[in-house]
Amino acid sequence: QSVWGYDSDNGPERWHENYPMAKGDKQSPIEINSKDVRHDSSLAPWHASYDPGAAKTILNNGRTCRVVFDDSFDRSVLRGGPLTGAYRLRQLHLHWGSSDDHGSEHVIDGVKYAAELHMVHWNPKHGNFAGALKQPDGVAVVGIFLKVGKTPKPEMKRILEEIDNIKTKGKEAPFQHFDPSILFPKSRDYWTYHGSFTTPPCEECITWILLREPIEVSPDQMAKLRSLSKNGENEAMNPLVDNWRPPQPVKGRVVRASFK
Ligand SMILES: NS(=O)(=O)c1ccc(C(=O)NCc2c(F)c(F)c(F)c(F)c2F)cc1
Ligand SMILES: [Zn+2]
């Protein structure tokens, strides 16, 4: 059977055939409408304390570009916000479009951003990542929106410079001495809600923390991202673009905002 992907024969509309959770009541991403958001003054600020030495490698798995971190102990952790306890940073990856007017997974008041960066953390009280996926409080993902502009964040350069070494599926390169907190925007304002992986197996284990302020990337940084291939080095180049899941039913969930 065809492995899941984003094409017509294996895309989001068919994931439920092999991954029944895809039709669950707490799926991600969602459309966020400010009029339905509830400001929650009890929401604490969130804090990341990342060790740059925890960064290990960057890889192209044919579906995204992912940076992997050492999560064998509380080395790079996320605390506060809606979370209880320290969640360990495991990996970060991106979702993006074939053009600048779309590509993000979450949609904010009808706005689709060019890309969305996910920093994936898991709750060590559940033993390991696979165990955490089975728990409602198992995983926390910080989502950062990327918009195309003229004052790109120099820190994005580091990830995009590595793209040349991981052009094709399966390519991996060392990626060390990298502190992902440099990617955070100035404002710490966020939305939070309970949802799922936006890819199979679509487990409903994620506390989403979506940052309100997007960061900027340049047009040629986006072009670089779009120059990745879905295929291996001995196969035809197939641009890795539009690796985003469309918004899913909110089903009565409340999205809270840390800001008014
Ligand atoms: N886009 S997102 O919602 O932020 C998202 C975050 C993490 C993963 C992930 O870790 N997948 C690999 C993966 C699995 F899908 C497993 F089911 C599992 F058991 C793993 F250990 C594992 F690494 C997928 C999507
Ligand atoms: Zn993601």
Please report where in the chains the tokens 């990542």 appear, as a residue: 129
Check pocket membership of 27 for ligand 1, CB cut-off 6 A: no
The count of C-alpha atoms lying within 13 angstroms of the C-alpha of 109, restricted to the half-sphere facing its C-beta, is: 5
**pLDDT for position 2:** 67
Q: What is the ipTM of this complex?
A: 0.96
Give the torsion sign (CA, 119, 231, 114, 196).
negative
Q: Which of 130, 148, 150, 146 is CA-nearest to residue 138?
A: 130
CB 29 within 8 A of CB 204: no
| Ligand number nearest to the C-alpha of 199 | 1
CB 55 within 8 A of CB 236: no
Instruction: Please state, in angstroms and rounded to a whole number, the distance separating the CA atoms of residues 194 and 198.
Output: 12
Please report where in the chains the tokens 């409903």 appear, as a residue: 204
Q: What are phi and psi of 224, to 5 degrees?
A: -65, -45
- pTM surpassing 0.90? yes
Pocket-testing residue among 197, 198, 245, ligand 1, by greatest number of atoms within 8 A of Cβ: 197
Give the torsion sign (CA, 136, 58, 171, 65).
positive
Residues 15-54 pLDDT 10s: 999 999 999 999 999 999 999 999 999 999 999 999 999 9
Q: Are strands 38-39 and 115-122 parallel, antiparallel or unpaired?
A: unpaired
CB 190 within 8 A of CB 181: no
**pLDDT for position 52:** 98
**pLDDT for position 150:** 87
Q: What is the DSSP string of the chain?
A: -PPP-SSTTTSTTTGGGT-GGGGSSS-S--EE-GGG-EE-TTPPPEEEE--GGGEEEEEE-SS-EEEEE--SSSSSEEEETT-SS-EEEEEEEEEE-SSTT---SSEETTBPPSEEEEEEEE-GGGSSHHHHTTSTTSEEEEEEEEEE-SS--HHHHHHHHHGGGG-STT-EEE--S--GGGGS-S---EEEEEE--SSTT--S-EEEEEESS-EEE-HHHHHHHTT-BSS-TTS---B-----PPP---TTPPPEES--
Q: Pick the residue whose CA is nearest to atom 21 on ligand 1.
A: 130
Give the torsion sign (CA, 15, 242, 110, 205).
positive
CB 115 within 8 A of CB 124: no
Check pocket membership of 118 for ligand 1, CB cut-off 6 A: yes
Ligand 1 atom nearest the C-alpha of 118 is 4
Residues 38-49 pLDDT 10s: 999 999 999 999
Check pocket membership of 50 for ligand 1, CB cut-off 6 A: no
The DSSP bridge partners found for residue 38 are: 256
Which stretches of the chain drop beneath a pLDDT of 70? 1-2
